[in-house]
């Protein structure tokens, strides 16, 4: 194994507080919650010709650049079609429609709920929003229940 500049998985107690700093930073500078699904909404609006909050599109560009930087510090991205345990449980022809449907569900749900794991889970919770606590509790509980159900239904395969 070659030694890379960035560890394979930086521990939670390093990353968590730094993400908290980012969340507070966006509130401190832009006076807004840093929701990533909001960035998708603005990117879609830009494509249709009118983004009301262009900084959110820039945040997505930054996100891509930051993740690419992390990848480069680990030897560079290696394009692949793997998808963890789900990729081992399903053939490629099966995983594509499943991932598309899961993406549609997330986009639909986040748009309806007004936020996702970042907007409600991190930002909204940090400002003690009851709406965000309810949203976070709901999507966490739902995701855990669905994951445990899939685990049972696939005989531990997933």
Binding positions for another protein, 79-98, rule CB under 8 A: 79-87, 95-96, 98
* Residue 55 binds to another protein (criterion: CB under 8 A): yes
Binding mask 16-35 for another protein (x = CB under 8 A): xxxxxxxxxxxxxxxxx-x-
* Residue 126 binds to another protein (criterion: CB under 8 A): yes
CB 60 within 8 A of CB 36: yes
Q: What are phi and psi of 41, to 5 degrees?
A: -60, -45
Judged by CB under 8 A, the residue of 5, 52, 130, 155 near another protein is 130
Instruction: Provide, rounded to whole angstroms, the least separation between the CB of residue 51 and another protein.
Output: 11
Instruction: Provide, rounded to whole angstroms, the least separation between the CB of residue 146 and another protein.
Output: 4
CB 120 within 8 A of CB 135: yes
Judged by CB under 8 A, the residue of 1, 5, 65, 93 near another protein is 65
User: Which secondary-structure segment (H or E) carries 20?
Assistant: helix 12-30
Q: How many residues bind another protein (CB under 8 A)?
A: 116
**Residue found by looking up tokens 């970042």 in the block:** 118
Environment class of 79 (CB within 10 Å of its CB; exposed 0-12, middle 13-18, buried 19+)? exposed
Instruction: Provide, rounded to whole angstroms, the least separation between the CB of residue 69 and another protein.
Output: 6
Judged by CB under 8 A, the residue of 13, 49, 50, 93 near another protein is 13
CA 114 to CA 35: how far, in whole Å?
Answer: 9
Provide the token pair at 129. 């929003």
């Amino acid at each position: 194994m070659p030694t890379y500049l960035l560890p394979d998985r930086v521990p939670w107690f390093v990353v968590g507080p730094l993400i908290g700093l980012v969340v507070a930073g966006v509130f401190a500078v832009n006076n807004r919650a840093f929701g990533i699904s909001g960035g998708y909404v603005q990117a879609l609006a830009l494509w249709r010709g009118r983004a009301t909050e262009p900084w959110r599109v820039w945040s997505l560009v930054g996100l891509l650049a930051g993740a690419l930087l992390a990848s480069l510090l680990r030897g560079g991205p290696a394009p692949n079609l793997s998808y963890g345990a789900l990729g081992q449980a399903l053939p490629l022809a099966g995983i594509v429609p499943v991932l598309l449907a899961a993406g549609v569900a997330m986009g639909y749900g986040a748009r309806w709920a007004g936020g996702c794991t970042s907007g409600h889970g991190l930002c909204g919770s940090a400002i003690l929003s009851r709406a965000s606590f309810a949203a976070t509790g709901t999507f966490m509980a739902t995701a855990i229940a669905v994951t445990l159900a899939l685990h049972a239904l696939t005989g531990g395969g997933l």
